[in-house]
Structure 1
Amino acid sequence: MSTKRFRVFAGPNGSGKSSLYDYLVKNKFFSERLDVNADKIAKDLGNKGFNINTWPISCSIAEFLQSAKANTRPNNNISLNYLQEKIAFTNSTFIWKGRKSYKTINTVAAYLVDYLTMKMLGTDGTFFYETVFSHQSKIELMQIAKNKGFKVYLYFVSTKSSKINWERVKSRVKQGGHRVPKSKVKDRYKKSLQNLYPALKVADRVYFFDNSESAPNRAYLNFAECRNGQIKIEQSCDEVPAWFDTYVLQELKKNKHV
């Protein structure tokens, strides 16, 4: 049996997670293409629907609604009754027939992320998962995957300041991308970095990327790696980013791992 892998692309809003994923897939670093990505799911739901024809899972509306009920979020903007009335699943495609406002579409996409992730964790297939990584539940999800026999790979990308992330989020919105309030960008930036050290204890391998500069391809050169708790700095790296030193190296030293 081939090794099944749970590949997590993580980092604060605006760090470049999707761009990094697209680059690695385009350059054939991976052969797998199954990507649980809320932004991509939301985009498809706003058009013709989200198709899972190539996914190694079988789905149903009943299962999806059960999952949504179990994962109801605070400040939810749609009721479960409305969700049941407006969601359809036909020809391997989830179709949304309700309001297509930004907030509503993204809420439905978030429910689908929860559902599809747990379905994929019940298979022997490798898949990708994208997250801002600002909540403890993401580390718990990595542990669930590991308990189910997956090799867990974390690809973490950040910048040296949340101000950079905010500017990129604003630029993305102008190009039709999804918006995130400035306060959330700042708050999630710190929380995402704070979750890095705990994640080292769960992930089999972690790849670190800094995307502070806007030079072409700079984000795609990882400067460090962690395997089984051991950090390796790339020889080409003259100086590690401050965020990596603070939230990884210093935390490891505090806990006497290096």
Structure 2
Amino acid sequence: MQHRAVTSCRPGRMNKQPTIWMLAGPNGVGKTTYAFRHIRAVAGTVRFINLDEIARGLSPMDPEAEKNTAARIALDRFDAYLGAKGEGGDFSMETTLAGLTYLRRLQHAKSLGWRIHLLYFVVATPEAALARIARRVSEGGHAVPEADARRRFARSIANVPRYVALADMWRVFDNNGGQPKVAAEGRAGCIAYRGATDGLPSPLTAILEHLPACAEA
């Protein structure tokens, strides 16, 4: 089965609901690269919450030392954007989904009339993600301890159903080749399209297989 080509998933111009774009997935799967290359065109916004970039701004020589402070700033920025939806409109954010920190905030956002679009990036194995992280470090990027990366890889996938259930639109991207390919997509806890999943981790494939099919709109 062939992968679907990546197309724009912006809401139509007549849709006046503000949208939160979540770029999610384990460490080392290409979320930030995708954001800097494509999020403005895909989502129509340059407002991007990225914990690693915040930490780097606080301490360029040792970003890891400022991770806790950066996490608080990221949450504060999320809340500020949420409270100013009539002023700034859509925004995007990056998260590993390894925890449930944003789940309650997203539930609150939905109650305020926000739409949630989830773009989930993944590679086949934790080892593939670690290799990408090592390459990033060799090019001057930030490191992630191996134990943390492995733990987040598993937890991120385990949390996918919770976030998919909230999403007005979601897509899973196979990023093994460096060019993201849509492997599956759907909305609000159901699946509308499933393509080739041989490049996805088996636990994620199992999750997708158990999602109910979306009713035709």
The two structures have a TM-score, normalised by structure 1, of: 0.69
Using the TM superposition, name which of 183-192 and 38-47 deviates more.
Answer: 38-47
Computed over aligned residues only, the root mean square deviation of the Cα atoms, in angstroms, reads 2.0
Q: For the residues of structure 1 that align with 2:162 and 2:135, how far apart are their CA atoms?
A: 32
2:168: which partner in 1?
A: 204
Per the TM alignment, residue 102 of structure 1 is displaced from its structure 2 partner at its CA by: 3.0
SS at match of 1:29: helix
Q: For the residues of structure 1 that align with 2:150 and 2:206, how far apart are their CA atoms?
A: 17
Structure 1 stretches of 5 or more lacking a match? Answer: 48-99
With over 3 angstroms needed to count, the CA separation of the structure-2 counterparts of 1:147 and 1:190, relative to structure 1, is same
Matched residues, number: 194
Per the TM alignment, residue 178 of structure 1 is displaced from its structure 2 partner at its CA by: 1.4
Is 2:45 aligned against 1:32?
Answer: yes
SS at match of 2:42: coil
With over 3 angstroms needed to count, the CA separation of the structure-2 counterparts of 1:210 and 1:243, relative to structure 1, is farther
With over 3 angstroms needed to count, the CA separation of the structure-2 counterparts of 1:239 and 1:168, relative to structure 1, is closer
With over 3 angstroms needed to count, the CA separation of the structure-2 counterparts of 1:156 and 1:15, relative to structure 1, is same
Structure 2 stretches of 5 or more lacking a match? Answer: 1-14
* Cα displacement string for residues 193-232 of structure 1 (whole angstroms, at most 9, x for unaligned residues): 0001111221111111011234xx2x1x312211233312
Q: For the residues of structure 1 that align with 2:50 and 2:146, how far apart are their CA atoms?
A: 22
Report which of the two structures shows the higher radius of gyration computed on alpha carbons. Answer: 1
Per the TM alignment, residue 23 of structure 1 is displaced from its structure 2 partner at its CA by: 2.7
* Cα displacement string for residues 113-138 of structure 1 (whole angstroms, at most 9, x for unaligned residues): 01111111111121011001100223
With over 3 angstroms needed to count, the CA separation of the structure-2 counterparts of 1:189 and 1:238, relative to structure 1, is closer
Q: Which amino acid aligns with 1:202?
A: L
Per the TM alignment, residue 243 of structure 1 is displaced from its structure 2 partner at its CA by: 4.3
2:3: which partner in 1?
A: none
Does structure 1 conserve the Cα–Cα contact (< 8 Å) formed by 2:191 and 2:208? no
Equivalent in 236, 242, 246 of residue 206 of structure 2: 246
**What is the percentage of aligned positions where both structures have the same residue?**
24
Does structure 2 conserve the Cα–Cα contact (< 8 Å) formed by 1:196 and 1:248? no
Per the TM alignment, residue 8 of structure 1 is displaced from its structure 2 partner at its CA by: 0.7
Q: For the residues of structure 1 that align with 2:97 and 2:154, how far apart are their CA atoms?
A: 10
2:7: which partner in 1?
A: none
1:41: which partner in 2?
A: 54
Q: For the residues of structure 1 that align with 2:107 and 2:189, how far apart are their CA atoms?
A: 15
The two structures have a TM-score, normalised by structure 2, of: 0.81
